[in-house]
Amino acid sequence: MTRLIMLIGLLAFTTLGGCNSMNHTRCDDKIVAQEKSPDGKYVAVLYHRSCANNTGLYTWASLQDISGIPSSQNEAVPILTIRGFHEIGANWIGPNTLEIRSEGLNDQKAILSQENNWKDIRIFYKG
């Protein structure tokens, strides 16, 4: 009986507690822009994400390693999530420095996540 309870608890944790809610919600992405780094190793992808029949609207930015070396680490990594749809742009200042611009950055309550570094990339933000 104790084993059964432990098994049910483990199953519940892995099913509910160990998941990312965004992965289980139906989302549609519309790419706004893609900007390759000057050395061609990375790409910044900017897009609008609409989840759960437009009840969740987000402006996202992600970075991806496109150096051509196959790896599980080459998946796009989100670096910015802003609640709502906002204009967004990106500019590579150098091979390891990215600037992201969006008026959505002016509302601190709308910013859900914001990374300042990824791998060897420094990320700056302008509202």
12 part of a folded domain = no
Structure tokens at 49: 């994400």
C-beta separation of 64 from 75 below 8 A: yes
Element holding 14 (H helix, E strand):
none
pLDDT score for 115? 98
Give φ, ψ of 37 to 5 degrees. Answer: -70, 155
pLDDT score for 25? 62
Task: For 5-50, write each residue's pLDDT tens digit.
Answer: 444 444 444 444 333 444 446 889 999 999 999 999 999 999 999 9
pLDDT score for 30? 96
97 part of a folded domain = yes
101 part of a folded domain = yes
Q: How confident is the model at residue 55 (pLDDT cuts 50, 70, 90)?
A: confident
Domain, as residue range, for 74:
26-126
9 part of a folded domain = no
Which residues make Cβ contacts (< 8 Å) with residue 15, sequence separation at least 6? Answer: none
Bridge partners of 57, per DSSP, are 50
pTM: 0.75
14 part of a folded domain = no
| pLDDT(122) > 90 | yes
Residue with tokens 């204009």: 87
Task: For 61-106, write each residue's pLDDT tens digit.
Answer: 999 999 776 655 668 899 999 999 999 999 999 999 999 999 999 9
Please tell me the total count of domains within the chain.
1
16 part of a folded domain = no
Alpha helix (H) residue ranges in the chain: 2-12, 21-24
1 part of a folded domain = no
pLDDT score for 54? 77
76 part of a folded domain = yes
